[in-house]
Structure 1
Amino acid sequence: MSELQFDDVTVRYGVGRAAMTAVDRVSLVVPDGEIVGVVGESGSGKSTLARAAVGLVPLHAGRILLDGAPIPRRGPRQLQMVFQDPYSSLDPRMTIGSSISEVMPSGMTRRARAAETARLLELVHLDPDKADAYPARFSGGQRQRVAIARALAGRPRVLIADEITSALDVLIQGTILNLIRELQAELGLSMLFISHNLAVVRYVASRVAVMHDGRIVEEGTTADVLGDPQDEYTRELLSAIPRPIQYTP
């Protein structure tokens, strides 16, 4: 895995007076082998930042670097992204095995692709014998596991996860988050983890950046930012986390 760096990145939509700045001069580092969470409300710019990293939206200013160099836009994708909606991220006309294998590096034999597909399905705790099944046979949580396996099949240097648990129910969210932690420990993942939920970010990320109105208003280790927030917006996000109800006899 590798280090991902956002250097004074600005992203704008539209032109002239109608232009809207979605990301405003953001600088952030995803260190090698760490998960960095970016948290904020809808419209804060966090998903735009993720999409800019994989080239889905153009930069207005700034640079995005991988190990200190511009990200190659040709050849194998150095960054892979897992999207929010597990029901639209997989082609319903392709088996899950085909979806996974098509991302693998060129030059692999059919047998090698099949073996790697089986390994990746096992890695995300799915039955390799289901490789010939279509996405319609899987639940939302299972499809998200397939999407993670598909992203890993491209052998990315950094993985980007954009709200990958927000479309799932609470119990399934927990299994996906446990999987992310397991993969990070086993593979040493470098990951940019986008979420609107501070509790989710606290569970998986070693560092966190809080975004508001396109800017990072606070950034540091997860323990520091969430244990002693310095910005009022961060404190507001923390206060919105549901807390267990205390019953007294």
Structure 2
Amino acid sequence: MSTLVFDKVSVRYGAATVLDGVSLTVPDGQVVGLVGESGSGKSTLARAAVGLAPLAGGRILLDGAQLPRRGRRRPLQMVFQDPYSSLDPRMTIGESITESIPDRLTRTVRAAEITRLLELVHLDPACAGNLPGRLSGGQRQRVALARALAGRPEVVIADEITSALDVSVQGAVLNLVRETQRKLGLSMLFISHNLAVVRYVSDHVAVMHQGRIVEQGPVTEVLEHPAHAYTQRLLAAVPGRHVPLRAPRGTDVDVPGGH
């Protein structure tokens, strides 16, 4: 079991309340999409989960236990928004991935693991010796996903991982995310401001506004029959006022890049 629970989580910076009593559950083996406009608190929730934002209140639990705030081995890993700043430009791809592989493995086993992970994200293992500067944005984001998976996490948080990519490669990365999540049975919190993207990858969706969850439920139900006025405004702002139906599991489609 790998169920991630945010229980009345609050984050404050000085007098500003960024998250105000957020409660959200990411069920075992499912994808929860978190959607909202910029500044709504989505990324702060992700940073709180991985220990990068201090809690002013509430708890973050994995299978009923508090997440460890320190230590190399963390059951939760995060893929960040910008593929160009998430990788150390002085380290090869293989070295970056190795940082997340458990130390107890031998050098030979680690090398085999790097090959396995690169193949898992559809990259040629030969690129392990390359520096990030030789890769495209889409390739770097695949490496970032491989590095997150190297620690064998129970939950992955993907924070706006396609927003910095060209529209032409967004669909390929999203297809990879869906394929990898299904193959490994991961629990995933997928954060985006793009309703079409959230609908494509998610089983459930939560809508965040001004640091609070205002609506949540099965993705089709929430986006087809939004109950909250803010969700309705988000949908109305989509060009053409149409968010494509979620594709069946196992189906790859082109996902609009529009916001």
TM-score under structure 1 length normalisation: 0.95
Pick one of 172, 177, 187 that aligns with 2:174. 177
Q: Percent identity?
A: 71
1:168 corresponds to 2:143: no
CA distance in 2, matches of 1:155, 1:240: 38
CA distance in 1, matches of 2:241, 2:132: 36
CA distance in 2, matches of 1:218, 1:20: 23
**Match of residue 10 from structure 2:** 10
CA distance in 1, matches of 2:133, 2:210: 38
1:155 corresponds to 2:188: no
* 1:242 CA displacement: 2.2
1:35 corresponds to 2:31: yes
Q: Kindly report which structure 2 residues correspond to 1:219-238, keeping only aligned pairs within 5 A, or say none.
A: 219-238=216-235
SS at match of 1:243: helix
SS at match of 1:131: helix
Pick one of 85, 89, 109 that aligns with 1:88. 85
* 1:57 CA displacement: 0.6
**Match of residue 79 from structure 1:** 76
The answer to whether the Cα contact below 8 Å between 2:208 and 2:214 also exists between their aligned partners in 1 is: yes
CA distance in 2, matches of 1:7, 1:134: 40
**Match of residue 142 from structure 1:** 139
The answer to whether the Cα contact below 8 Å between 2:235 and 2:241 also exists between their aligned partners in 1 is: no
Q: Deviations over 1:110-145 (max 9, x none)?
A: 110110000000000000011001000000000000
SS at match of 2:58: strand
CA distance in 2, matches of 1:243, 1:121: 38
Q: Deviations over 1:21-51 (max 9, x none)?
A: 1011010000000010100001101110000
CA distance in 2, matches of 1:242, 1:120: 37
* 1:109 alignment partner AA: T
**Match of residue 22 from structure 1:** 18
CA distance in 2, matches of 1:43, 1:216: 13
* 1:74 CA displacement: 3.6
1:65 corresponds to 2:61: yes
Q: Deviations over 1:124-183 (max 9, x none)?
A: 000001100100000000000000000000111100111000001112111110001101
* 1:50 alignment partner AA: A
**Match of residue 126 from structure 1:** 123
The answer to whether the Cα contact below 8 Å between 2:159 and 2:192 also exists between their aligned partners in 1 is: yes
CA distance in 2, matches of 1:65, 1:137: 39
**Match of residue 114 from structure 1:** 111
CA distance in 2, matches of 1:8, 1:74: 22
**Match of residue 198 from structure 2:** 201
CA distance in 2, matches of 1:104, 1:232: 45
Q: Deviations over 1:33-79 (max 9, x none)?
A: 00101000011011100000000011000000000000123440111
Q: Which runs of 5+ in 2 are unaligned?
A: 243-259
CA distance in 2, matches of 1:114, 1:212: 44
SS at match of 1:118: helix
**Corresponding residue pairs, total:** 241
* 1:2 alignment partner AA: S
SS at match of 2:129: coil
